[in-house]
Amino acid sequence: MLFVSATLQNEPMKATLRYLAGMAGPSGFGSNSTAEQVTEDSSCFLSSPLTALITGASSGIGAETARVLAKRGVRVVIAARDLKKAREVKRNIQKESPKAEVVLLEIDLSSFGSVQRFCSEFLALELPLNILINNAGIFCQNLEFSEDKIETTFATNYLGHFLLTEILLDKMIETAEKTGIQGRIINVSSVIHSWVKKDGFRFNDILSGKKYNGTRAYAQSKLANILHAKEIAKQLKARNARVTINAVHPGIVKTGIIRAHKGLLTGSSNNVLCCSELKNRSDKWKILCRL
Q: pLDDT (tens digit, 9 = 90+) per residue, 150-195? A: 999 999 999 999 999 999 999 999 999 999 999 999 999 776 666 5
Q: With contact defined as beta carbons under 8 Å apart, do 15 and 247 qualify?
A: no
- Indicate whether 5 belongs to any domain: no
Mean pLDDT of 25-48: 59
Check pLDDT > 70 for residue 65. yes
129: domain CATH number is 3.40.50.720
**Structural element, H or E, at residue 43:** helix 43-46
Amino acid making up residue 276: S
- Indicate whether 8 belongs to any domain: no
Q: Report the distance separating Cα 88 and Cα 247, nearest Å.
A: 28
- Indicate whether 50 belongs to any domain: yes
Q: Report the distance separating Cα 168 and Cα 155, nearest Å.
A: 18
- Indicate whether 7 belongs to any domain: no
Higher confidence at residue 250 or residue 107?
A: 107
- Indicate whether 28 belongs to any domain: no
- Indicate whether 67 belongs to any domain: yes
SS3 label, residue 226 = helix
Residue percentage of the chain with pLDDT more than 90: 52
- Indicate whether 135 belongs to any domain: yes
- Indicate whether 26 belongs to any domain: no
Check pLDDT > 90 for residue 201. no
Count Cβ neighbours within 10 Å for each residue of 119-153 and write b for 16 or more, e otherwise. beebeeeebbbbbbbbbbbbbbeebbebeeebbbb
- Which of 19, 158, 212, 218 does the annotation list as catalytic? 212
212 is an active site residue = yes
How far, in whole angstroms, is CA 129 from its chain's centroid?
15
Domain that holds residue 280: 34-290
User: Number of structural domains, the chain?
Assistant: 1
